[in-house]
Structure 1
Amino acid sequence: MDYSSSYSSEGTGILAGIGITFIVIYLAILVLMVASMWKVFEKAGKPGWAAIIPIYNTLIMIEIVGKPTIWILWCLIPCVNIVFSVWLINLVSKSFGKEEGFTVGMLLLPFIFWPILGFGSAKYVGPSAAEAQTGFGKNPFNPNDPFNQPPATPEA
């Protein structure tokens, strides 16, 4: 049986054109995402070129938000990485003064919200992680917060 007669050259050409169009759009979005991440890293005082190196860019984001380096391990373990990656992106948006709604946008429409963060007017306000704000080994208790006080020491 001759199957070559069931395929038209016009249909094959149309499918090839659609495939090439999708590839071009995908590559354009990829370039936009890398450029946006590059700008976000530069705003945070980190090297922009780190955005193109797969695991190293996660390590740089961990540094930007002020979490310990062990987080790179949590971001690589399957299933656990989903929780920690969402948390990391939330901390990135908070480090630039954004709210949780912006985090949802960064997760669902990253090709829109990462460029807003990178090329927009957002300023890096510092690490959002509590450890980075208080420092490791420093007193984590806020003297102005009556509910977050160190335990009372017995008087001698």
Structure 2
Amino acid sequence: MEGGYQQLEPGVTAAFMIVYFIIIAVFYIYMAICLQTIAKKTNTDNGWFAWIPILNVILMLMIAKKPLWWFILILIPIVNIVISIIVWMAIAEARGKPNWLGILMIIPIANIIIPGYLAFSE
């Protein structure tokens, strides 16, 4: 194929997609377990909301004791970043941890570690 794009074999592409799907599924399961554990430790009802994509945001608002209409704010670009930080700060406070942990949720690796810390620490 002269002058054209190189093409990956369909099997290689499928393998990459399968690995990508597994990684995404593992992170989703991890976050759901963390959120459900945080809900349990903060005595928030409906911890099973953590497993359902839109309801997990509602659960976060319930844990943070924020009004449910904030869900609409989470749908607005740029505003969603600020609201998410405020919600995670309130979740950290609900767990008795320093609220600056919520600010760390915008840092890529920290946003994987912080929910586990909030869920599984005393």
TM-score clears 0.5? yes
Q: Does 1:41 align with 2:42?
A: no
Gaps of at least 5 residues in structure 2 are none
| AA of the residue aligned to 1:44 | T
2-structure distance, mates of 1:7, 1:54: 35
The alpha-carbon deviation at position 8 of structure 1 amounts to: 8.5
State the superposition RMSD in angstroms: 2.8
Task: Quote the residue 1:55 is aligned against.
Answer: 54
2-structure distance, mates of 1:88, 1:81: 10
The alpha-carbon deviation at position 49 of structure 1 amounts to: 0.6
Moved over 4 A (4+): 6-9, 12-16
| AA of the residue aligned to 1:39 | T
The alpha-carbon deviation at position 92 of structure 1 amounts to: 1.0
After superposition, the Cα gap between the structure-2 partners of 1:110 and 1:8, relative to the gap in structure 1 and judged at 3 Å, is closer
Q: Which has the larger helix fraction?
A: 2
Task: Quote the residue 1:120 is aligned against.
Answer: 121
After superposition, the Cα gap between the structure-2 partners of 1:80 and 1:105, relative to the gap in structure 1 and judged at 3 Å, is closer
The alpha-carbon deviation at position 50 of structure 1 amounts to: 0.8
The alpha-carbon deviation at position 18 of structure 1 amounts to: 4.1
Task: Quote the residue 1:31 is aligned against.
Answer: 29
Rg larger for: 1
TM-score by length of 1: 0.59
After superposition, the Cα gap between the structure-2 partners of 1:16 and 1:62, relative to the gap in structure 1 and judged at 3 Å, is closer
The alpha-carbon deviation at position 44 of structure 1 amounts to: 1.6
2-structure distance, mates of 1:67, 1:26: 28
TM-score by length of 2: 0.72
Larger CA deviation: 107-116 vs 97-106: 97-106
Q: For 1:1-156, list aligned pairs within 5 A.
A: 16-45=14-43, 46-108=45-107, 109-121=110-122
| AA of the residue aligned to 2:19 | T
Gaps of at least 5 residues in structure 1 are 122-156
For residue 102 of structure 2, give the secondary structure of its aligned residue in structure 1.
Answer: helix
